[in-house]
Amino acid sequence: MSVAEAHALTILRDGPLHQGELGSRLNLGKSTTSRLTDGLVDRGWVLRRPDPADGRARLLSLTDSGTEVSAGVVERRGKRLAQLLSNIDPEQHTNVINALRLLKEATTSDHP
């Protein structure tokens, strides 16, 4: 599984999303997002269906299998973070977690 696939699956854990929005969150172009989505659909992890409100738009959602796979991704990421934190002075853990939170917020910010 590629990093982009893993990231897409974790984003879709929050619920259905337009294909364009997924691409925007992943900072991918339309064709790359389409290929990524095709792969996720082919693996049986994602359903792609027309948006009832806009038949031209596509909504993506996780299948049951996709939900299980994304849970595994989240679990592995958590274990890796715990492993990394074990190499850092415990007094600095709060600083590391706060820095990661700030980076996550920056990825969803509309500011350049």
Residue 105 has pLDDT above 70, yes or no: yes
3-class DSSP assignment, residue 97:
helix
The tens digit of pLDDT for each residue in 46-84 reads 999 988 888 788 899 999 999 999 999 999 988 998 898
- Rounded to two decimals, the pTM is 0.77
Cα separation, 77 vs 57, whole angstroms: 31
H helices of the chain, in order, are 3-12, 19-26, 30-42, 64-85, 93-107
> Counting Cβ atoms within 10 Å, is residue 5 exposed (0-12), middle (13-18) or buried (19+)?
buried
The tens digit of pLDDT for each residue in 91-101 reads 998 998 899 88
Residue 111 has pLDDT above 60, yes or no: no
Check: CB of residue 57 under 8 Å from CB of residue 50: yes
The residue whose two tokens read 């590629």 is: 2
Residue 110 has pLDDT above 80, yes or no: no
